[in-house]
Structure 1
C-alpha cells in the first residue's frame, strides 16, 4: 500500500474519533491489506489524532491475547495498539456515555515499565520482560464500536484503528507483585455490582507476561521499543461487555486491587 493510500485510510478512520459518523464498510482494496499495512496506517492515524489534540501516546494495548477474545472476534493472533494520554483515567472516574459511539469494557491487568525493553537476541520471554516491570495494576480497557459493522472489517483495518481502543482506567499501582501467581490470578468484572465475567492470568497467552514479551518483540521490530514509564494493557480475561446505559463498572484482580469507572 503506497503512502498516499495509507494517508487516505488514516483520515477515514480518524473521522469517528473526531466526532464524525461511524466508519463505513471498508473499501474493496482494503480486503487484501496486510498486517504490515495495518500498522503503517496506525502510525499515520496517530499523527492525525495527535495534531487534532489527543495528546501523545502514553501506553499500549494488546488485543486478542485470550481465547475468549480470539473466538469473539475471529482473530487468532495478538494485535497491538496505542493509548493516548488524553484517554487515560484514574480509578473512580466519571465518563460521559456521549463521549463514545458505543462503549464497551474489558477486564485487564496493566503493567507499568520501570526500564526500557529494547530488542533482545533470540527475542524476549516472560522472564526477560518481568525484570522491566515496575508495577502491576487492575485496569479497564474502554473500547468503542465506532463502525457501521466491525465484523465486515478485515483484521488489518482493526489494527490500524488501535483495535477498538478508546481509553483505559487504571487502578492503584502495586509494586510488590512478584509474590503473586500471575497464572492463577483471577479477574472479575462487575456491572453495577453484578458479575459480568471472570477469567485468570493463564487465559492471557498462558501467562500475562507472554503477551508483554510479544509486544516487546513487535515494538522492537518496528523500531519503537517499549520505554520506561509506559504502561501496557495485557488483554481482557472476559469477553467485551457493551454499556448501553449509565452504569458503574469494576475490574478486580486478586492481589492487585480494583479499577472502577462510572458512565454517566
Structure 2
C-alpha cells in the first residue's frame, strides 16, 4: 500500500490542474480504491460525490492505474442507457479509460470472480479511424471517422462494498468499472454512402440478445436503447473528453454502453451475444469458470 500511495503526488500534479476546487476523494482514499481494484476486493463506497468530485477522483484513480495497467487503448461511455441511468439515480452518461489487456477475444474463458463485484452486459465497440471523430456531432459523422464496428460483451466490475448506493459521480470515480470485455469479429465500415446509411439504420434497429448454453434468454435490448442511436454515445464522449482537454486517437477502441441489464456471472455459465438485424455480425461467446 505504501508503494502505491507514493505514486500519487507525482502522478497527479498535472492531472488536477483542471479540477482544482473539486472536493474529490483524498490521495489516500484514491490509493485505497486502486489497491482494492488490483486485489479484487470490495472497496469502500465513495459517498456524496458531485459530478466534479467524480471527475476529480477518476483522474486520481487513472493516474494510479496507468503505471500498473499500461497503455490506454480507448474509452468507455457508461450509463448511456436510460434504464441503467435510472439504476444509478442519474440522467447523464459517464466515461472511463480502457487499458491494454482488457479486451479478450470471442471464445474466451473468464473467471466468474474476475472482479470484486463482477457483472456482464451486451455492449459494442467501435475503432477510431480519424481524429475527426472528436468533432462529430451526428451518428453519420461518427461513422465516417471509424473503420470497425465490433460486437462486444463487457465485463465491468463495480468494485465497491455496496454497488446499489453508487450514484453517477460514484460510477465515474471508479473509472466506470472498466475491467474486461470479450470482443467478436469486427465489421468493416462500408465505403459506399448508401451502405453507410443502411448500417446506421441497422445499428439503431438491431435487436441484441444474451442467451445461455440452452438458448434461454438472459437479457437484451435494441440499438436505440443507447441514446436513441448507439453512435450518439461517441458524440457525447467527444464533447465530454474535450471538456477535460482529452481526445480520441486513431486506433483506439470506444465502448458504447449497455444494451442489456447488468447481470451477475456464475461458474459454468456460457453466454452468447447475438446482434439480429446487423448484417454480417457474428455472435460473441464466452464461458465463465
Q: How does 1:170-209 map to 2 (within 5 A)?
A: 170-176=183-189, 178=196, 179-180=198-199, 181-192=202-213, 193-209=215-231
- Runs of 4+ in structure 1 deviating by more than 6 angstroms, as ranges, are none
Question: What does residue 55 of structure 1 align with?
Answer: 70
Residues 206-250 of structure 1 deviation map (CA, whole Å, 9 limit, x = unaligned): 111111100011112211111111111111111111113221112
Q: Which has the higher contact order (CA 8 A, sep 6+)?
A: 1
Aligned length: 257
Distance 2:109 2:40 in 1: 23
The aligned counterpart of 2:18 is none
The answer (yes or no) to whether the contact 1:117–1:225 under 8 Å persists in 2 is no
Alignment of 1:119-130 (within 5 A): 119-120=134-135, 124-130=137-143
Matched with 2:128 is: 113
Whose Rg is larger?
2
2:252: which partner in 1?
230
CA contact (8 A) 1:67 1:203 kept: yes
SS at match of 1:99: coil
User: What is the rounded CA distance, in whole Å, between the counterparts of 1:171 and 1:144 in structure 2?
Assistant: 20
- Change in Cα spacing, 1:176 to 1:20, as seen in structure 2 (3 Å) is closer
Deviations 1:7-50 (A, max 9, x none): 23321221221115311233xxx41x321221222122122122
Residue in structure 1 matching 2:55, options 39, 50, 74: 39
Higher strand share: 1
3-state secondary structure, aligned to 1:242: coil
Any gaps of 5 or more consecutive residues in structure 2?
Answer: 1-20, 191-195
* Partner Cα separation in structure 2 for residue 153 and residue 238 of structure 1: 19
Distance 1:252 1:4, change over 3 A: closer
Whole-Å Cα distance in 1 between the matches of residues 274 and 182 of structure 2? 12
Using the TM superposition, give the Cα deviation of residue 6 of structure 1 relative to its aligned residue in structure 2, in angstroms.
Answer: 4.4
Q: CA deviation at 1:103?
A: 1.7
Residue 118 of structure 1, CA deviation: 6.1
